[in-house]
């Protein structure tokens, strides 16, 4: 009987277990009374039989001692059988309730969306802002002036084309930069005096803004 205590997992199974213990205890007491009557000596048996019959509220008027003895044993045996049956039924019910409780607990434990019978809700968080290229440029993290000078070249070139060449070079060096011409100049010389074989050298200064910092916004680009 005591092995059933491992199945006590809820209030209902606890009640069923207690009822079963009480019924089994009462059955054992009843069987003990039956054994005492059977093994008692003749002078003590009469008192035990009378006590048993009074306990079962049986009218024994007109019965012989032998009949009273048999009636007491029958009453005790019947009472023990009833409590034995009750204990077995309650034990079966307790096992069924324990099985149902264990199944419900296992289902609850295997389902991460529930806890203590309540559905866990995904916390709602405010959308986060971020800096992304699609938001546009707020400012640049670095600014500098770059001055570059050409080689000596023959005629047919000028300052503006050289500045365009310089900006083209800088775009390769600073892919996300912003470029603005600051100033330009040129020098000239003759390489075949007294004839005029002119050569020119061009200088251009460009203001470069690089390392862009984008606007911080809430958008679909933020993850």
Pair (82, 109) in one structural domain: yes
Tell whether 152 is covered by a domain: yes
CA distance 180 to 206: 6
Pair (106, 185) in one structural domain: no
Residue 152: give the domain boundaries: 130-217
Peptide bond into 159 cis (omega under 30): no
What are the pLDDT digits (tens) for 74-103?
767 776 677 678 778 777 787 787 777 777
Q: Among positive and negative, which fits the CA dihedral 59, 40, 82, 2?
A: positive
Pair (90, 157) in one structural domain: no
- Kindly state the tokens that stand for 67: 């009949």
User: Quick check: helix, strand or coil at residue 113?
Assistant: coil
What are the pLDDT digits (tens) for 150-177?
999 988 899 999 999 999 999 999 999 9
Pair (46, 76) in one structural domain: yes
Pair (42, 111) in one structural domain: yes
- The residues of the chain scoring below 70 in pLDDT are 1-17, 19-20, 23-24, 26-27, 33-34, 36-38, 40-69, 71-73, 75, 79-80, 83, 108-122
Tell whether 125 is covered by a domain: no
Pair (106, 151) in one structural domain: no
Pair (6, 114) in one structural domain: yes
pLDDT of residue 168: 97
Which among 69, 87, 119 is the end of a domain? 119
pLDDT of residue 219: 92
Q: Among positive and negative, which fits the CA dihedral 4, 6, 20, 13?
A: negative
145: which strand partners? 207
Pair (44, 20) in one structural domain: yes
pLDDT of residue 72: 64
Residue 128: which residues within 8 A CB-CB, separation 6 or more? 218, 222
Pair (107, 17) in one structural domain: yes
CA distance 57 to 180: 118
Pair (109, 134) in one structural domain: no
52 in Cβ contact with 75 (< 8 Å): yes
Pair (28, 80) in one structural domain: yes
Pair (90, 64) in one structural domain: yes
Q: How many domains does the chain have?
A: 2
Backbone angles phi, psi at 191, to 5 degrees: -105, 0
Which among 119, 144, 178 is the end of a domain? 119
Is the pTM value of this prediction over 0.75? no
């Amino acid at each position: 009987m005591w092995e059933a205590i491992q199945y006590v997992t809820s209030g209902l199974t606890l009640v069923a277990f207690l009822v079963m213990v009480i019924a089994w205890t009462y059955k054992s007491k009843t069987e003990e009374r039956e054994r005492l009557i059977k093994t008692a000596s003749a002078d003590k048996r009469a008192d035990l039989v009378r006590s048993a019959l009074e306990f079962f509220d049986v009218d024994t008027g007109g019965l012989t001692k032998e009949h009273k003895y048999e009636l007491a044993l029958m009453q005790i045996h019947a009472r023990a059988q009833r409590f034995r049956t009750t204990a077995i039924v309650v034990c079966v019910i307790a096992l069924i309730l324990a099985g149902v409780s264990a199944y419900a607990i296992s289902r609850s434990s295997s389902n991460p969306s529930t806890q203590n019978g309540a559905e866990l809700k995904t916390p709602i968080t405010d959308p986060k802002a971020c800096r992304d290229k699609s938001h546009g440029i707020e400012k640049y993290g670095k600014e500098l002036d770059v001055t570059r000078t050409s080689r000596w070249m023959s005629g047919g070139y000028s300052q503006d084309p050289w500045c365009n060449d310089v900006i083209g070079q800088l775009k390769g060096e600073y892919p996300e930069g912003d470029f603005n011409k600051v100033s330009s100049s040129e020098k000239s010389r003759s390489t075949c005096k007294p004839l005029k074989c002119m050569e020119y050298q061009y200088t251009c200064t460009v203001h470069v803004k690089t390392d862009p910092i984008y606007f911080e916004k809430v958008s679909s680009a933020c993850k």
